[in-house]
Each structure stands twice: as C-alpha cells, then as structure tokens.
Amino acid sequence: MREKIIVALDVDSEGEALALTEALKDYVGAFKVGLQLFHRAGHGIVTKLVEAGVKVFLDLKFHDIPNTVAQAAAAAVESGAFMFNVHASGGKKMMQEARKAAQASAAALGIAPPLLIGVTVLTSLAEDELQDELGVERSLPEQVAALARLSQEAGLDGVVASAREIPWIRAACGDDFVIVTPGIRPLWAAGDDQKRIVTPQKALEDGADYLVIGRPLTAAADPREAAKKLLAEVASENKGEA
C-alpha cells in the first residue's frame, strides 16, 4: 500500500519540498514534482529529491512536436525520475518518439527506463467542454478509452486518470496497464477544489496502481501524522473486509 502513494509536492520552494519529503518519505512510495515546483525551484529539484533517496514522478505533461518531446523525454530520464508523463492527445508518433528516446537515454545510463504515462482527458474538463470547445465528437468515456488505447499502442506503460475512469480504461487496455489516480481524499480530509473525489480505499479496490495525494498530506498541520492516519484508514478498511 505504502509504495502506491505518490505525494504531490505542490509548493513554491525547494526548502518546503525537501522538508515535506523528509517528513513523509518513510510513509509513502514517491513524490510528484509538477509545473509549480519545477518552475519555482528549477529543474535541479528533481536531482536533489532523487539524491535524498526518494522516487520522483515528473508531472510536466509534455505536449509538443515529436522531436521536441523526445528531447524532453531524454532529459526527464537523465533527471532520475522513476515516472514521467506526456499528453496522449499529442498523438501516437509523439508518444512513440518519447518512448524511444527514454529507452535510449536509460540504456546509455545503464538504468531501467522510467514508467512513461499518458494523460488522456484532463479531469478538470467536463464532457460539454470536450465536445463544444475542443470539437471532440466522442463521449467522455469513449475519448478516455480511445486515448488510453492509443497510449498503450504507442508503448506507454499506463495513464493518469480519475478513479472513476478506471473501468473504461481496464476494459480498453486490460490489467497489465498502469493507472495513476489523483483526486483522492481520505474520509477525514476536505475536498478542496477537487470535484470528483474518491477515497484511497475505493480507488485501490477499483484497481488503481498509484494514488496521487496532495493537500490532505501536504497542507496538514502535521503531515507525518496525516500519512499515518491515511495508512491506518486503508489498513482498517481492508481488515473489515477480510
């Protein structure tokens, strides 16, 4: 269970990120560096976290022409991230080039390639926005499933998705495909601005491989206590079912 939790380090400075990492590293599996921290603290933050002994999910959602994304993918591998992502809507060729560059870069470094994850439809987009603003004719479930399938065909390891989308993705891509789910809230936590939230237990039951959890841990008065409470919540619900 512990290994499946990825903490979203959505903070403004290296100091805050390192302090949270120190407090939480014994209770979770990895830490996510997204656009906010990457741009505030600089790209060196990834190497610093890796040197601190933790796994890093580099959540920069690359979306550009295939050659540019391939170069960025090589840099992501060199940073030491264990997972990074691209937008599936960049197309199959873009994803294939990212995969190829990541594998070549990892081989040159003598390391295992990081998990490469596709972003299907941002969970902040509603179906009417997808259709009316972006001109997509498919329904939301069909578009999520189609982009997950395209990611798989391009050789990606999995996708980021709302826990509610797991059944559509499992149906399209099978069990051997990683699903990373944000929007997780333990029973005792506030929903914040997330609209479609699920509990950690529910996301795991539905087949999520990794849970991205931010504010319930990072904004807690005592992040370490919050992490212990989260692990206890999942453990006790598991026991209840056994």
Binding site for ligand C5P (CB under 6 A): 8, 10, 34, 122-123, 160, 182-183, 192, 194, 212-215
In whole angstroms, how close is the CB of 70 to ligand C5P at the nearest point? Answer: 23
Residue 96 corresponds to which tokens in the numbers above?
């294939």
59: β partners: 34
Residue 70 belongs to what H/E stretch?
A: helix 66-79
Task: Please say which residue, 34 or 155, places its beta carbon nearer to ligand C5P.
Answer: 34
Report the half-sphere exposure of 79 (CA within 13 A, side-chain side). Answer: 27
Q: Which residue is nearest to ligand C5P (CB)?
A: 214
Tell which residue, 177, 237, 156, 168, has the closest CA to residue 204: 237
Task: Please say which residue, 22 or 192, places its beta carbon nearer to ligand C5P.
Answer: 192
Task: Please say which residue, 11 or 70, places its beta carbon nearer to ligand C5P.
Answer: 11
Question: Catalytic: which of 61, 92, 100, 229?
Answer: 61
Q: Are 94 and 86 in contact (CB under 8 A)?
A: yes
In whole angstroms, how close is the CB of 239 to ligand C5P at the nearest point? Answer: 25
Task: Please say which residue, 80 or 118, places its beta carbon nearer to ligand C5P.
Answer: 118
User: Which residues have C-beta within 8 Å of that of residue 59, sequence separation ≥ 6?
Assistant: 8, 32, 33, 34, 35, 84, 85
59: helix, coil or strand? strand
CA atoms of 8 and 35, how far apart (whole Å):
11
Task: Determine whether 61 is an active site residue.
Answer: yes
User: Which residues have C-beta within 8 Å of that of residue 162, sequence separation ≥ 6?
Assistant: 123, 181, 182, 183, 196
Tell me the Ramachandran region of residue 225: left when phi exceeds 0, alpha when psi lies from -120 to 50, beta otherwise.
alpha
Task: Please say which residue, 105 or 143, places its beta carbon nearer to ligand C5P.
Answer: 143
Q: Are 211 and 5 in contact (CB under 8 A)?
A: yes
In whole angstroms, how close is the CB of 137 to ligand C5P at the nearest point? Answer: 22
In the block, residue with structure tokens 């798989």: 152
In whole angstroms, how close is the CB of 80 to ligand C5P at the nearest point? Answer: 20
In whole angstroms, how close is the CB of 108 to ligand C5P at the nearest point? Answer: 30
Q: Give the active site residues.
A: 61
